[in-house]
Chain A
Amino acid sequence: MTKDAMHNQPKIAMVIDDNEIDQLVARSLITASGFANHIISVASASKALTYLKTNEKQPEKLPDLIFLDIHMPEMDGFEFLKEYHLLTSEIKAKVRIVMLSSSTDSADQAKARKTGHVLKFLSKPLNLEELEKLDQLLINKNSDFVQMRYDG
């Protein structure tokens, strides 16, 4: 898949964060950078899971990238990753996850990396440069991913 092809598709980002201010910050920056055409804001991990499951058969509604906070009431980021692991491969084929947390604890980073579903671990707050890099990374990863699937 070429870079252009990627850009031609409407890109959907999902922000999972219970903190409204952080939601706002993420949304504003994603909008400002043009990183995604559409942003889904979800205030809890469980709601995000419900959304993903509901739209399982409609890949066009699934987000390309999820910004996932760690510290959330009810279900935290790691629990979300556990549930995510059990989702269908159709969902996982499209969705990438980036951790976006105020945690700087390397243990948290290691834990996230271990799940195998996390593309990158970002420290809050989000900024434009990070988004730029992420965009680049996503293109590369996607082509890698396609490659991997063909390689079996």
Chain B
Amino acid sequence: MTITRKKKFIWFAKSASLFTISVSAAVLLGWLFDIPMLKSISPNWVSMKANTAIGFFLISALFCYQLYTPDTAKKNIILKTGSVFTFLIGLFTLLEYLFQIDLGIDQFFFKDQIDLGTMAPGRMAPFTAINIMLMASCIYFYGRGLHKKNHISDYLILIVLVTSLIPLMGYIYGIEDLYNHSNLTHVAIHSSILFVAISLSILFSKVENGIFALFTKNTNISIIVFRQLFTLIVLILVIAWVRMVGEQKGYYSSEFGVFLIAFSSIVIIFIMLYMGAKSIYKSEKRQQKVTTEAMENLQLFQGVLEAAPDGIMGINTHGTILFVNRQIEILFGYSKQELVGSPVDTLLPEKTLWQDEIIHHRYFKNHKSLEASDKPKQSPARTREGNEFLVEIGLSSLETKNGLLAICTVRDITQKQELEEAVRLSEQRLSTTLASIGEGVISTDVHGKITYMNPIAEAMTGWPLEEARYMNLEDVYLVRDEYSGASVSSPLRRIIKEGLVVSVENHTVLTARDKHDLIISHNGAPIRNLHGDILGAVLVFRDTSERTEAERRLQKSQAQFNTAFFSNPSAMSIARQRDGKFIEVNSAFIKLLEYPRSDLLGKNSEELALIDPLQRKEIWDKLNAFESVKNKETTLKTMSGKLTPVMLSAECIEVENEFCVLTTLIDLSSWKEVEKRYHAIFENTHEGIYQSSPEGKFITANPSMAKMLGYASPEELINSITDISQQIYADPRERERMLTLFKREGKAIGYELAARKKNNEIIWVRANIHIVHKADGEVEYYEGTIEDITERKLATEQLKIQFAELKKTNHELDRFVYSASHDLRAPLASILGVINICELEDLSDTSKFHLGLIRRSINRLDGFIKDILNHSRNSRTELQSEEINFLELLTSAQENLKFMNGSERLKINVSTSLTTPFFGDSVRCGIVIENLLSNAIKYQDFLKEKNTLSIDFITTEVGATIIFHDNGLGIHRNHVPKIFDMFYRATDMSTGSGLGLYIAKECILRMNGTIQVKSELNNYTKFEINIPARSS
């Protein structure tokens, strides 16, 4: 609404000024093409002068320009210049009138003749000139920007508006005097209309701060006043016109006319003012009502705010408190004045998630109000006295004029927490009590499902709580009558259904999970809530078997002993000390001795002949003296007569007031087996195995060790060596070096050293040695194996010498090949050079032919030498790895072969797919390509019209593929298998050495590649080469 109304005025201003532009332009056109209609509308009226039209045009155009464009310095200059120019038009015209002179400006643009109501040709009315000057001044103010500061421009325009109404009304009412002053030029009708139009345009365009802003503003009064004023003006004009017409027609006299005007004016003005005042009054009243309501709402809100049981505060986006309620003051001990304007951290010191993330980020930035789903957040809070307490915070957002606002409710939850803590404590206390009382407690829900069992109940029923929970009580708590054996219905139903407290003193038997019976008594009672509703039952039961607590404890330890005894993997027995008879044996014992249990019990080891009598005596002597026997190795005879090695430990214990012997046996038969096996290895291995002391003596050694060092037996070795470093090590310092290595690495693996044999002969051995430490970390002894590597060592030395010699030979050969290549090729090149210069001379055809023959022979010899050299290089030089540019290799091959017969005739098509860089031996690849190309040139089918060779180079991750496919002579099927042989030539036409393909193949093989050939005689030959990428 606000915008639309102002827009309407702006629209009006714009259209009025555009109207002025178009009318003035039309008049100018009228002058240009001499159209009287446009100049003066009616022949009875005076024309609008050209200068007037220019003035209008300039003013309206400048004003339009001012309306449509933003303010700039350039714009201001244009406005000022234009207005000054326009002003001068008016001023000069006025001067002409004042001083009765002709300055020549009147007909400056267009010729005019003395016309109706015109004083001088082309001169505008003085009234018009003044108004143009006024308006030009106004535009000038606009150019200076003064229109924004004061209303002077508006008043100037107002003068124009009011004065131009005079001639306009003159035309409307036909009163000539109003637009015509004596013999001065008349004011044209369209001039007066345009004055009204442009001045209204200018006045209404200033919607915000002009003098007409009173009408344009969006207040009720503005709307009413504008409407009433507009209606009033129209009505007065109409009445005046009616009066005039009536008078002219003679309906009434002029006195009556005056009365008519006066009367109707009074009536109209009264009505208009009355209506206006009424509207204003109404709108004022409405305003008042809204204000009152708002005030009431505010009071209501404040009342709610203050009365709320929770603390409420408003926080802005900066975290500043804007308002708080009474409850906040009470909670935190601050006054309102203190809190408003201070940061929220004062109250909620911890920068918790909700403050940083929610308020500043998600909550405000996304303009998202917190919904019910957002749980209240807990946050620590601090009172003025510095007491910390816990609060729960709820948030919602509010969009206000001053930006977003977080409404924050704060609730003290300290009490709630304390309550929760109290409940938790009492629960804990209860469960501790239940866990520690000596009676079984089971509670169920209303359906009889178990919800809780204390440890005693678990032990008595044999059901752990985890398993029994949610099971039916009847399935866990199996009770029957002690005497009748009839199952007693569980007391549960009665307790839950009837709400009775049940008590059974005796004669009830509880069958535990392991079918073990207990005589019990039990009590049961319903669990009720505050309202007395039954929620479940609790059952308390007690083992009433007449056992003392001490007995029970004994039983328990008995049970523990039983478990340890019977399920022990070691064979165990208990025998009476006085006669040695077994009173209990475990299953491992039975298994070890193979006797059935019944055969063992009641007998002693002597009766069963389990053990050698002497050893038995030795053991029993100790036991009878109440000494224990520990880790005694002995042999027992089993029932089947097998002798079993065992480790025996025995000690005296007291069982039921009687001294007994507890014996533990560890079966050593498998250990013995292992030991035997290792001993065999120790004795028979070819490696020398030994243990030596840090002092340098052998502790043990195997026969191989002794033999290796030239001693007859390990004993001889051990006894005759007193200092290993002096007697065994060829270099006595070697042992020191090795011990240093030990200190660093803890062992020596593959250590090669020279050792001295008994006969002082030196052998090379390879030793693996490690340290065995004592408990205190000191070296206990060294343990090692040695291997005689004398022969291998010698062989390696030999190999090294041979390799060096071979390398030297190879190098010499290299040098030889290199210089041979030069020495062989240089004379050939000289001969070819001489042929080249001979051919420069004027020779006979025969001589030319002969020279050609020489050249061919030399080329052939040269080619052969090149092949031989290539071959020699290929077999000797190492593979190189560099990125290969196949096309470059091809180009250089073509270059080398361009003098070959028919090389220019062969059409070569190359296609490439070089997706991956290929690394390989560029020299060898070059040799291969050159050889294949040379073959393709050599073996063209000259009978064919066109000889072509297509070459593909393909590189992939896997490797490179080179394909040579020609349509040459082809190879006969019989020759195909042999073409790669040395010195093989498939055709008698060949001029080659028979080495080309052989060398190519050798090169490819060196690069781990393959070459395949497909050919058909007189048709084609296709070579495909694959070279794998080198895995570096």
Q: Are A24 and B837 in contact (CB under 8 A)?
A: yes
Q: Are B833 and A103 in contact (CB under 8 A)?
A: no
Q: Are A104 and B825 in contact (CB under 8 A)?
A: yes
By a CB distance below 8 angstroms, the chain B residues around A123 are 829, 896
CA distance A32 to B922 in the complex (A): 37
CA distance A105 to B923 in the complex (A): 10
B892 to chain A, nearest CB (A): 9
Q: Are A22 and B830 in contact (CB under 8 A)?
A: yes
Q: Which residues from 93 to 138 on chain A have a C-beta closer than 8 Å to any C-beta of chain B? A: 102-106, 123-128
Q: Which of A102, A105, A124, A126 has the most CB of B within 10 A?
A: A102
Q: Are B826 and A28 in contact (CB under 8 A)?
A: no
Q: Which residues from 713 to 740 on chain B have a C-beta closer than 8 Å to any C-beta of chain A? A: none
Q: Are B833 and A21 in contact (CB under 8 A)?
A: yes
CA distance A28 to B834 in the complex (A): 9
Q: Which residues from 813 to 840 on chain B have a C-beta closer than 8 Å to any C-beta of chain A? A: 818, 821-822, 825-826, 828-830, 832-837, 840
Q: Are A71 and B822 in contact (CB under 8 A)?
A: yes
By a CB distance below 8 angstroms, the chain A residues around B896 are 104, 123
By a CB distance below 8 angstroms, the chain A residues around B834 are 21, 24-25
Q: Are A19 and B840 in contact (CB under 8 A)?
A: no
CA distance A6 to B168 in the complex (A): 95
By a CB distance below 8 angstroms, the chain B residues around A127 are 836
CA distance A25 to B988 in the complex (A): 35
A19 to chain B, nearest CB (A): 6
Closest to A108 in B: B818
Given A19-B830, A22-B830, A125-B830, the answer on whether A102 and B825 have CB atoms closer than 8 Å is yes
By a CB distance below 8 angstroms, the chain A residues around B840 are 28-29, 32
A15 to chain B, nearest CB (A): 12
B926 is contacted by which of A24, A70, A71, A106 (Cβ under 8 Å)? Answer: A106
By a CB distance below 8 angstroms, the chain A residues around B866 are 104
Q: Are B829 and A124 in contact (CB under 8 A)?
A: yes
By a CB distance below 8 angstroms, the chain B residues around A28 are 837, 840
CA distance A32 to B822 in the complex (A): 27
A126 is contacted by which of B821, B828, B833, B869 (Cβ under 8 Å)? Answer: B833
Closest to B823 in A: A71
B759 to chain A, nearest CB (A): 56
Given A24-B837, A29-B837, A71-B826, the answer on whether A125 and B832 have CB atoms closer than 8 Å is yes
Q: Are A29 and B818 in contact (CB under 8 A)?
A: no
By a CB distance below 8 angstroms, the chain B residues around A125 are 829-830, 832-833, 835-836
CA distance A19 to B833 in the complex (A): 12
Please classify the interface of chain B as helix (H, G, I), strand (E, B), loop, or mixed, using the class held by over half of its residues: helix
By a CB distance below 8 angstroms, the chain B residues around A22 are 829-830, 833
A68 to chain B, nearest CB (A): 15
Closest to B830 in A: A21
Closest to B824 in A: A102
A105 is contacted by which of B818, B828, B837 (Cβ under 8 Å)? Answer: B818
CA distance A86 to B833 in the complex (A): 33
Q: Are A25 and B837 in contact (CB under 8 A)?
A: yes
A21 to chain B, nearest CB (A): 4
> How many chain A residues touch B (Cβ–Cβ < 8 Å)?
22
Q: Which residues from 860 to 900 on chain B have a C-beta closer than 8 Å to any C-beta of chain A? A: 866, 869, 896
CA distance A100 to B833 in the complex (A): 12
Q: Are B836 and A102 in contact (CB under 8 A)?
A: no
CA distance A70 to B818 in the complex (A): 12
CA distance A123 to B828 in the complex (A): 12
By a CB distance below 8 angstroms, the chain B residues around A128 are 836
B832 is contacted by which of A19, A32, A124 (Cβ under 8 Å)? Answer: A124
B421 to chain A, nearest CB (A): 85
Closest to A104 in B: B866
B617 to chain A, nearest CB (A): 95
By a CB distance below 8 angstroms, the chain A residues around B821 are 103-105
By a CB distance below 8 angstroms, the chain B residues around A103 are 821-822, 825
By a CB distance below 8 angstroms, the chain A residues around B830 are 19, 21-22, 25, 124-125
CA distance A7 to B349 in the complex (A): 93
Closest to B898 in A: A129
Given A24-B837, A29-B840, the answer on whether A102 and B826 have CB atoms closer than 8 Å is yes
By a CB distance below 8 angstroms, the chain A residues around B828 are 102
Closest to A129 in B: B898
Closest to B923 in A: A106
B833 is contacted by which of A25, A32, A70, A104 (Cβ under 8 Å)? Answer: A25
Q: Which residues from 25 to 45 on chain A have a C-beta closer than 8 Å to any C-beta of chain B? A: 25-26, 28-29, 32
CA distance A127 to B840 in the complex (A): 10
Closest to B926 in A: A106
B369 to chain A, nearest CB (A): 68
Q: Are B829 and A102 in contact (CB under 8 A)?
A: yes
Contact with B along A10-28 (1 / 0, CB 8 A): 0000000001011011101
By a CB distance below 8 angstroms, the chain B residues around A24 are 833-834, 837
Closest to A127 in B: B836
By a CB distance below 8 angstroms, the chain B residues around A32 are 837, 840
Given A19-B830, A25-B830, A104-B821, the answer on whether A126 and B836 have CB atoms closer than 8 Å is yes
Closest to B899 in A: A127
B920 to chain A, nearest CB (A): 14
By a CB distance below 8 angstroms, the chain B residues around A29 are 833, 836-837, 840
B732 to chain A, nearest CB (A): 53
By a CB distance below 8 angstroms, the chain B residues around A25 are 830, 833-834, 836-837
CA distance A85 to B696 in the complex (A): 68
CA distance A32 to B836 in the complex (A): 11
B911 to chain A, nearest CB (A): 26
A119 to chain B, nearest CB (A): 15
Q: Which of B834, B836, B896 has the most CB of A within 10 A?
A: B836
CA distance A70 to B834 in the complex (A): 19
CA distance A127 to B830 in the complex (A): 12
CA distance A102 to B828 in the complex (A): 9
CA distance A28 to B837 in the complex (A): 6
By a CB distance below 8 angstroms, the chain B residues around A71 are 822, 826
Closest to A70 in B: B822
Closest to A24 in B: B837
CA distance A25 to B834 in the complex (A): 6
Closest to B829 in A: A124
Closest to A28 in B: B837
Closest to A69 in B: B826
Closest to B826 in A: A102
CA distance A7 to B825 in the complex (A): 35
By a CB distance below 8 angstroms, the chain A residues around B922 are 106
Closest to B817 in A: A105
CA distance A24 to B830 in the complex (A): 10
CA distance A94 to B833 in the complex (A): 28
A102 to chain B, nearest CB (A): 4
CA distance A60 to B158 in the complex (A): 97
B837 to chain A, nearest CB (A): 4
CA distance A151 to B731 in the complex (A): 70
A16 to chain B, nearest CB (A): 15
Contact with A along B482-526 (1 / 0, CB 8 A): 000000000000000000000000000000000000000000000
Closest to B922 in A: A106
Given A25-B830, A124-B829, A125-B829, the answer on whether A102 and B837 have CB atoms closer than 8 Å is no
CA distance A64 to B509 in the complex (A): 127
Closest to B866 in A: A104
A sample of 15 more A-B contacts (CB under 8 A), given A21-B833, A32-B837, A102-B829, is A21-B834, A24-B837, A25-B833, A25-B834, A25-B837, A71-B822, A102-B826, A102-B828, A103-B821, A104-B866, A105-B818, A105-B821, A124-B833, A125-B835, A126-B836
Closest 8 CB pairs of A and B: A25-B833, A125-B833, A124-B829, A28-B837, A102-B829, A102-B826, A102-B825, A125-B832
Complex A-B: 27 CB contacts under 8 Å: A21-B830, A24-B833, A24-B837, A25-B830, A26-B833, A28-B837, A28-B840, A29-B833, A29-B836, A29-B840, A102-B828, A103-B821, A103-B822, A103-B825, A104-B825, A104-B866, A104-B896, A105-B818, A124-B825, A124-B826, A124-B829, A124-B833, A125-B829, A125-B830, A125-B835, A125-B836, A126-B836
Question: Which residues does A use to contact B, with CB under 8 Å?
Answer: 19, 21-22, 24-26, 28-29, 32, 70-71, 102-106, 123-128
